[in-house]
Amino acid sequence: MLEEIIQRIEKARLSVNEHLIVKLIAVSKYVDASAIEQLYNQGQRAFGENKVQDMYSKAQQLSDLPIEWHFIGNLQKNKINKLLSLEPFMIQSINSVDLAKAIDKRTTKPMRCLLEINSANEVSKHGVMAQEAVDVYHQILQECPNIRLQGVMTIGAHTDNQKEIIKSFELTYKIFEQLRPHGAKVCSMGMSNDFELAIKCGSNMVRIGSALFR
Ligand SMILES: *Cc1c(COP(=O)(O)O)cnc(C)c1O
């Protein structure tokens, strides 16, 4: 399964540019610690969780493995301390200046973060609107010295219409390009059903759950 996904990522990235490097985040929210350990034993190091409590219990059970944890879910302010106590590698879901400030205040070390963009303009989704993303990014850079903003994250449009999905990825990539001169390195987009499309639109980080674990 992992092998097959890696090959599909490889094929998609080579169709764009042989120098494009795409990182795989295995989204383990559907599975328990033993399934994570299995994938770890196959060589996967980066895992993503969308709930603080789940990441907490899995990270505790797997504390002897040097796993790189990525938080990808909506973060409530009252869970920030618990999340920070796990020393995650990255928080991908910064969706407001307010949240960035709250993390900035509580963290004792610089924290790698991505700004989440609501690229399909869906009310059901978190993330800043595309029109305000660049301004919000700059405001966080200026006002949050402990937040190491490294790029953007988005969830593609929730539809079967490929054109709509591509539109949301292209919009996110355009924002990413604007932010590159300001230190943005990561463009995190693409999930089980759309990661090849996302890579073709410039993604260099894919977050894949069900295709790996189901
Ligand atoms: C669940 C989730 C994923 C993975 O989704 P799959 O469709 O299972 O691959 C990626 N990103 C976020 C933010 C998620 O919540």
pLDDT at 127 over 90: yes
pLDDT at 125 over 90: no
Closest atom, ligand 1, to C-alpha of 72: 13
What is the per-residue pLDDT across 183-209, written as a single tens digit (0 to 9) for each?
999 999 999 999 999 999 999 999 999
Between the CA of 18 and the centroid of ligand 1 the distance, in Å, is 26
pLDDT at 57 over 90: yes
Closest atom, ligand 1, to C-alpha of 192: 9
159 pLDDT band (50/70/90 cuts)?
A: very high
User: Residue 124: what pLDDT?
Assistant: 83
56: which 2 tokens? 């907490």
Between the CA of 30 and the centroid of ligand 1 the distance, in Å, is 10
User: Residue 122: what pLDDT?
Assistant: 87
From the options 3.20.20.10, 1.10.3720.10, 3.40.50.300, 3.40.640.10, give the CATH code of 2-208: 3.20.20.10
Of the listed ranges 111-115, 118-122, 134-138, the one predicted with least confidence: 118-122
123 pLDDT band (50/70/90 cuts)?
A: confident
Give the sign of the dihedral formed by CA 132, CA 134, CA 135, CA 139.
Answer: positive
> Shortest CA distance to 85 belongs to which of 123, 122, 113, 57?
57
pLDDT at 214 over 90: no
> Shortest CA distance to 115 belongs to which of 131, 101, 136, 98?
136
In angstroms, the CA 21 to CA 17 distance is 9
Average pLDDT over residues 85-103: 98
Report which secondary-structure segment, H or E, holds 23: strand 23-27
Average pLDDT over residues 19-30: 97
> Shortest CA distance to 171 belongs to which of 133, 123, 122, 115?
133
- Mean pLDDT, the chain, whole residue set: 97
In angstroms, the CA 106 to CA 113 distance is 14
Residue bearing the CA closest to ligand 1, atom 6: 209
Secondary structure (3-state) at 169? helix
Q: What angle do CA 192, 197, 198 make, to 5 degrees?
A: 80
9: which 2 tokens? 């990522």
Between the CA of 139 and the centroid of ligand 1 the distance, in Å, is 28
Average pLDDT over residues 104-120: 97
User: Residue 107: what pLDDT?
Assistant: 97
Between the CA of 55 and the centroid of ligand 1 the distance, in Å, is 14
Cβ neighbours of residue 139 under 8 Å, at least 6 residues apart? 97
Pocket of ligand 1 (CB under 6 A): 27, 29, 50, 72-73, 155, 191-193, 207-211
